[in-house]
Amino acid sequence: MIDRHSSARRCARICSAIGIAGVLLAALLPGSGTARAADQMRLLETGSSLLYPLFNLWVPAYSSSHPDVQITTQSTGSGTGISEAISGIAQVGASDAYMSNPQMHANRSMLNIPLAISSQMVNYNPGVNLPHQSIVPIHRTDGSGDTFIFTQYLAFSTPSWNQSIAYGTTVAWPAVSGGLGAEGNPGMVNASKTTPYSIAYIGISFKKATDAAGLGEAALQNRAGEFVLPTAATVQAAVRATAARTPADERISLIFAPGAQSYPIINYEYAIVNSRQPSRAQGTAVRQLLDWCINPRDGNAAHFMDAVGFVALPEAIAQLSRKQIAMIH
């Protein structure tokens, strides 16, 4: 009894000492660089899992030339990107979907700034020679820009879908028994991989993963009636057919573009940013980051775009984006 007490007392003293020392150390420890924490600008980029692989390539390149900025990237879904950009938790919200009219009315200082152009695949896990089995549709559970562009395609191409379900970052999918929900593009790849006879919509930046998993890619019927796969040529054809219509606030759908060679599901990858930043230093840091991202020599350079299967912004659109970026203060 006495032994246990003295050992307990010693244990208590040691643990409290470790705890207090540890917390003090953690609080005083500088960030990963040698600069003091107060000098480091920390930016949080959160949102689209479709843009996430590209941002993960951008951040190391950007940080090497801008060591005073620390950028955390997160793949949480476009819905979270939009809401955290609105509430200020994240400085850059990545989203495949532009904000809706009600959202813009409620938050008038928000900007939707395209950073690149991406597309989406429809993948299937075929089993053997399309046997007589139930198809398992897989949808996204999180608020997803991929859901937005896929349901827009369904809504624009199929009037009955438009009447009943329409489009959005979250929709009430029709009840198909056996249908799965997955979280994020990676979750879609995994779910599709393990589920025979499944169909899933997956962003183009995950093409390497879907190829590695042995998933098939479906050719989609475009507005002209042709069945096309998402290649650089078909995406560029769709861009040429639709980008000219882009308004100044750049909120526009590129879905179901006209043209025989156009791929029907392409979209702008948006950075959702609040034009009113809490401090001048933060506004400058965000502006510099976004300018770097859309610069055809930096973020929009060919090696970045090719790595994820995206297409660089046309010069006219980049100009519009630059004008919007200049509004951040």
Partner 1 sequence: MKFRAWLAILAGFLPASLVAVVAFLTAYSWPAIRFNGVNFIWHDVWNLGNLYADPVHVGGMPIQPGAHYGILFLIVGTLLTTAIALVLALPVGVGAAIFLAEATSGKLRIWLSSFVELLAAIPSVVFGLWGYVVLIPLLGRHVYPAMAKVLAVIPFFSGPPGSGYGLLTAGIVLSIMIVPLIAATLRDALVAQPKSLREAAMGMGATRFEAIWNVVLPGTYRVLIGATFLALGRALGETMAVLMVSGNALNYLPHNIYTPVSTMAAFVVSQLDSALQDPTGMAVRSLAEIALILCIISVIINGTARAMLWFWARSPQPGGA
Partner 2 sequence: MSSTMPQSSLSAPAAARWLRRQRHLNFGRRLFSIAGWSMSALTLLLLAIVIVWILTIVLMRGWAAMHPSLFTTITQGNGGGLLNAIEGTFVLGIGSLALAVPLGVAAGVYASEYRFTRWSSAIRFLSEVLVGVPSIVLGYFGYVTMVEGLGWEFSVAAGSIVLGIICLPYICRTTELALRQVSDELREAAYALGASERHAILHVCLPAALPGILTGVMLALAISVGETAPLLYTAGWSNYLWDGRLTHSPIGYLTYAIWTFINEPFAAANALAYAAAFLLLLVVLGINILSRFVLSPRP
Q: Tell me which residues touch partner 2 (CB under 8 A).
A: 4-5, 7-9, 11-12, 15, 19, 22-23, 26-32, 37, 40, 42, 44, 55-56, 59-60, 70, 72-75, 87-89, 183-184, 186-187, 189-190, 206, 209, 212-213
Residues in the chain, overall count: 329
- Mask 48-87, x = binds partner 1 (CB under 8 A)? ----------------------------xx-xx-xx----
Q: Which of 13-21, 192-200, 279-287, 289-297 is the region at the interface with partner 1 (rule: CB under 8 A)?
A: 192-200
Choose from partner 2, partner 1, none: what does 288 bind? Cβ within 5-8 Å by kind: none
Range 204-243 burial, b when 16+ CB lie within 10 A, else e: bbbbebbeeeebeeeebebbeebebebeeebbbbbbebbb
* CB of 110 closer than 8 Å to CB of 186: no
Number of CB atoms found within 10 A of residue 134's CB:
10
**Residue 29, phi then psi, degrees to nearest 5:** -65, 130
Q: Residue 300, interface with partner 1 (CB under 8 A)?
A: no
Tell me, by CB under 8 A, how many residues bind partner 1: 41
Q: Residue 168, interface with partner 1 (CB under 8 A)?
A: yes
- Of the candidates 110, 68, 116, the one whose C-alpha atom is nearest the C-alpha of residue 92 is 110
Q: Which of 61-69, 162-170, 199-207, 278-286 is the region at the interface with partner 1 (rule: CB under 8 A)?
A: 162-170
Interface residue with partner 1, options 111, 136, 202, 293 (CB under 8 A): 136
**Distance (Å, whole) CA 196 – CA 184:** 19
Measured from the CB atom, the residue of 57 and 104 that comes closer to partner 2 is 57
The distance of closest approach from Cβ of residue 193 to partner 1 in the complex, given in angstroms and rounded to an integer, is 10
- Of the candidates 151, 96, 142, the one whose C-alpha atom is nearest the C-alpha of residue 310 is 96
Measured from the CB atom, the residue of 76 and 261 that comes closer to partner 1 is 76
* CB of 121 closer than 8 Å to CB of 204: yes
For residue 191, give the H/E element and its range. helix 184-194
Strand partners, 199: 124, 137
Interface residue with partner 1, options 109, 134, 295, 319 (CB under 8 A): 134
Q: Residue 101, interface with partner 1 (CB under 8 A)?
A: yes
The distance of closest approach from Cβ of residue 161 to partner 2 in the complex, given in angstroms and rounded to an integer, is 29
Q: Residue 288, interface with partner 1 (CB under 8 A)?
A: no
Interface residue with partner 1, options 172, 297, 302, 315 (CB under 8 A): 172
- Residue 171 DSSP one-character state: -
The distance of closest approach from Cβ of residue 273 to partner 1 in the complex, given in angstroms and rounded to an integer, is 17
**Residue 74, phi then psi, degrees to nearest 5:** -145, 140
**Distance (Å, whole) CA 92 – CA 253:** 21
Measured from the CB atom, the residue of 5 and 280 that comes closer to partner 2 is 5
Which residue is it, tokens 């917390």? 23
Measured from the CB atom, the residue of 97 and 312 that comes closer to partner 1 is 97
Q: Do the strands 198-203 and 136-140 form a parallel or antiparallel pair, or are they unpaired?
A: parallel
Residues that bind partner 1 (CB under 8 A): 76-77, 79-80, 82-83, 100-103, 106, 133-134, 136, 139, 141-143, 166-183, 191, 194-196, 198
